A = this chain, B = another copy of it.
């Protein structure tokens, strides 16, 4: 059982988080989370999904950041650095070319991400923690010096 393994059905996840299932579906619709979906369309949430949602709720309730604010912060993640995209890869990638949502929400058909499962991508899996995007940017800039 790893933190990325999808194990919790929606009601369980909602209980773990003390929120409604509607809220979980709403967060997904807003592209804040990407739960696993079985062939039957049933959602399963991983521990790292749960942790990401905790951070999201802390941002909303404690830091008073709106959902759209969170989306914008997610859009600032230089995913092309995580993915080591070439110049060509970037040339028509919406995430690189300054759109306003998380990369997984704006990927287009002719990108290297198009055929990939974003829920398994390091961008989604490894940077769900509060503050991790800023940390990533800082470290990346520093290590390039």
Contacts and interface: CB of A to CB of B under 8 A. Distances in A.
Copies in the complex: 2
Contact of A140 (B100, B135, B141): B141
Main secondary structure of the interface of A (DSSP, over half): helix
A83 interface: no
Interface size, A (range): 20 to 34
B78 A138 contact: yes
Given A66-B66, A100-B63, A141 B141 contact: yes
A135 to B, nearest CB: 7
Given A64-B68, A68-B69, A137-B141, 8 more contacts: A65-B66, A65-B68, A65-B72, A69-B72, A76-B133, A78-B141, A96-B138, A144-B144
